[in-house]
Amino acid sequence: MSAQPMETKVVCGMTLRKDPAREACFKVVETDAEMAAWADFSRDSMRERLHRHMNNETTSLEIAAQCIADFPEAPWELRMQLARQVWDESRHVEALHRRLIEIGGHKGEFPVANFEWTVTCLLDTLVGRLTLQNRTFEAGTMDLMATLPGKWREAGDAATADLLDAIAADEVQHVRFGNQWIRRLTAEDKRLLFKVAHAVRFLAEVNNAFAKASGGLNAVGQTMEQVGKVAPINVADRLEADFSEAEVAEILRQAGFPALVQERLPAAP
């Protein structure tokens, strides 16, 4: 069971887990509005994108590692999957840091936010954390990765594009084992379905609270709409990561693509 009492903080009226430790060079902020994100691929934007991605990979590493520490009673095979994820994410952090330096950036050059950690690690069940981190946040990254390397290539940076392709291949496995274990754990104990539902609802509440509080410009004068575009659903990789066709259809439907559901996938029951 997770270590208690958990250290918490309140952001936009929501109680969240306190940020993980960061080196003194990093300025840690709470919301997207405080980030220095640009929608284009200018030199500044390229460094900021790598810097932000590097910190996001760090939080993925920390979430998986914290799960191993907080849930010693979890099945050994699941703990091994989390340990492998920690190893993958640590390689991602190192590779992104190397590339950041190659293009002239450095640690601490831009603000960082640890949103995924602060939401996921507030939950006190492993199935809840897998639901948010692996099945929701990392699945979202997978969608983004379907188009992001191409954008870097168009911007003339094939080395970063190749690196993102390599990272994306690992992410599919993190989503896959998350999905497989959520299915297995909830099949063994139906009460855990409430924990899954609670996790999804909690994230929706946090997102709503953050959306209400933002709305203006971010730290470099970009609108949230400019920098916060939602990636199209990566159907091929989601199926590869063990989302069922019905689940992918439901995600497409919720994302406002009902026509795509009819064309590509059978309707959810």
- Candidate segments 15-23, 52-60, 110-118, 240-248, binder of Fe ion by CB under 5 A: 52-60
Determine if 157 is a binding residue for Fe ion (CB under 5 A): no
Q: Closer to Fe ion at the Cβ: 56 or 222?
A: 56
Q: Closer to Fe ion at the Cβ: 60 or 114?
A: 60
149 Cβ contact list (under 8 Å, min separation 6): 160, 161, 162, 164, 165, 168
Beta-ladder partners of 29: 113
- Could you give the CA distance from residue 55 to residue 114 in angstroms, rounded to a whole number? 8
Q: Of 256, 214, 210, 251, which is closest to residue 234 (Cα–Cα)?
A: 251
Name the minimum Å distance from CB 263 to Fe ion. Answer: 30
Name the minimum Å distance from CB 68 to Fe ion. Answer: 15
Annotate each residue in 8-47 with x if it binds Fe ion (CB under 5 A) or - if it does not, as one string: ----------------------------------------
- Candidate segments 73-81, 144-152, 165-173, 222-230, binder of Fe ion by CB under 5 A: 165-173
- Could you give the CA distance from residue 187 to residue 115 in angstroms, rounded to a whole number? 30
Determine if 171 is a binding residue for Fe ion (CB under 5 A): yes
Range 53-72, binding Fe ion (CB under 5 A): 57, 60
- Candidate segments 16-24, 81-89, 187-195, 202-210, binder of Fe ion by CB under 5 A: 81-89
Which of 89, 143, 237, 242 binds Fe ion (CB under 5 A)? It is: 89
Name the minimum Å distance from CB 65 to Fe ion. Answer: 12
- Could you give the CA distance from residue 109 to residue 11 in angstroms, rounded to a whole number? 24
Chain centroid to CA 84: 17
Write out the H or E segment, with its range, that includes residue 65: helix 43-70
Beta-ladder partners of 15: 10
Q: Closer to Fe ion at the Cβ: 60 or 218?
A: 60
- Could you give the CA distance from residue 94 to residue 100 in angstroms, rounded to a whole number? 10
Q: Closer to Fe ion at the Cβ: 89 or 157?
A: 89
- Candidate segments 4-12, 18-26, 84-92, 219-227, binder of Fe ion by CB under 5 A: 84-92
153 Cβ contact list (under 8 Å, min separation 6): 161
Write out the H or E segment, with its range, that includes residue 113: strand 112-113
Which of 99, 174, 176, 238 binds Fe ion (CB under 5 A)? It is: 174
Measured in residues, the chain has a length of 269
Name the minimum Å distance from CB 138 to Fe ion. Answer: 5
- The size of the interface with Fe ion (CB under 5 A), counted in residues, is 7
* Burial (Cβ within 10 Å: 0-12, 13-18, ≥19) of residue 129: buried
- Candidate segments 92-100, 120-128, 186-194, 250-258, binder of Fe ion by CB under 5 A: 92-100
Helices first, then strands: H and E counts in the chain = 12, 4
Using CB under 5 A, list all residues that contact Fe ion. Answer: 57, 60, 89, 92, 138, 171, 174
